[in-house]
Amino acid sequence: MKVLLLTILLCFCYGLTQAQNQGISFRNTSWETVLAQAQHERKPIFVYAYSPECHFCQEMAATTFRESSATAYYNATFVSYQVDITADTAFAKCHDIVSFPTYLYFDATGKPLHRSLGAKPAAEFIADGQAAFHPKQAFYTLQRRYNAGNRSVRTLYAYSTALTSSSQKQNLQAQVIDEYLATQSAKQLRSERNLRYIYTHASPRTDLFLIQHQDLFQPWYKSLEIQKKAERTLTNMAFTAGRANDTATLRRVRQLVLASFPDTVRANSLATINFLEGQRNWVSYARATLRFAQSPHADLYTLRKTATYVKYFGKEQGPAREQESLQLVAELLPLLLQRQKDYQNTLLYAQVLHLLHQETQALSVVQEALRLAQAEQEPAEEASTLLVEIQAAQK
């Protein structure tokens, strides 16, 4: 009898595990039906807003949504509903969804409680679900307090943090961050809590503070990590200035470089390149990156990004300017390949040569890309298609 009971118990546990491994039980029905089910079951609602083409959505569906702890928590706690936002654009507009994956949490009546986004491990995903019921963390609870005029230090701190993961068109994060920082004294700003806050929150004020006080962050972050963060912040400032064609801000960025960056040549080059990218001035952008590529300060990311952007967007300025910008990129890419010769970079060079109608050289380069793809065990459909196009152009 004991053996029989043990066998039944093991079978039950195995069946439960198998059910959990199937993932979160999303209801394949309408939003109206989900609301009715939630009220009937007296459960809150979890909504997963996704796009079939979204890489991070696919990642979540294949991993976190099938992890046993996440499955157990969400299936026990929520009525879950998934919605393809590319198909149901009305739902996206209604709930101000602008990126994927977005997670929305409602009570059983459909009142919004919380929202979050992005690929994340099971523990963080479960914490999102738990935050929906926590007044100090739930996004919409904090939003209602803020909109009602609550500007307490606690509300500003919590709401600005929640806005980091809200992903909305009308995002007040920078405003709320600066309102919070305005409540802190110069001494308080240098506390560990606030330095970590400044490091992880983006606004004009945090950006400026980070660049000007990089040394203050060293007890909690690695020097190289701080340097890269400061560089990214600087280039974002330059890009935003370029998008607004704001040369006055670019001059202020250059002053920051002189005052706050040891490698002023590299920082100035990156500021210029990103300003021109913001302007979408593809010829000047390519020329500035080509100069940068010839220096010891150049990084592979900037070189590859410039080549890719000019390939896709160079046509915006007309055929003559496109050819001029592509020719500059054709001079840039061999410098990139000297430092990182792989399938993707070689394919990019072949594509640019093809756009320049330099078919003989493009043929040689795409054949090299195919050899590299085989050596690197990379799928080579793009190179194979390009090879056919080049051969057709030569006839």
Pairing state of beta strands 45-50 and 26-27?
unpaired
Beta sheet of 112-117, edge-to-edge order: 26-27, 79-84, 45-50, 102-106, 112-117
Cis peptide before 101 (omega within 30 of 0): yes
Amino acid 164: pLDDT:
85
Amino acid 86: pLDDT:
87
C-alpha 249 chain-centroid distance: 25
pTM for the whole thing?
Answer: 0.76
With 0-12 / 13-18 / 19 or more C-beta atoms within 10 angstroms meaning exposed / middle / buried, residue 278 is: buried
Per-residue DSSP letter, 317: G
Specify the residue for token string 């059910």.
Answer: 19
Residue 110 CB partners (closer than 8 Å, separation 6+): 35, 38, 45
The backbone torsions φ and ψ at residue 285, rounded to the nearest 5 degrees and listed phi first, read: -60, -50
Amino acid 21: pLDDT:
53
Amino acid 171: pLDDT:
76
DSSP string, 18-83: HHHHT---EE-S-HHHHHHHHHHHT--EEEEEE-TT-HHHHHHHHTGGGSHHHHHHHHHH-EEEEE
The whole-angstrom separation of Cα 85 and Cα 135 is 28
Pairing state of beta strands 45-50 and 102-106?
antiparallel
Per-residue pLDDT of the chain (395 residues; tens, 9 = 90+): 444 444 444 444 434 444 445 799 999 889 999 999 999 999 999 999 999 988 899 999 999 999 999 999 999 999 999 999 988 889 989 999 988 999 999 999 999 999 999 999 999 999 999 999 999 999 999 999 999 999 999 999 999 999 988 877 777 899 999 999 999 999 999 999 999 999 999 999 999 999 999 999 999 999 999 999 999 999 999 999 999 999 999 999 999 999 999 999 999 999 999 999 999 999 999 999 999 999 988 999 999 999 999 999 999 989 999 999 999 999 999 999 999 999 999 999 999 999 999 999 999 999 999 999 999 998 999 999 999 999 999 88
Query: CA distances (Å), 69 to each of 26, 73, 118, 235, in order?
Result: 16, 6, 18, 40
Length of the chain: 395
Amino acid 168: pLDDT:
72
What domains does the chain contain, in order, with CATH numbers? 20-132 (3.40.30.10), 134-183 (no CATH)
Specify the residue for token string 């890489």.
Answer: 55
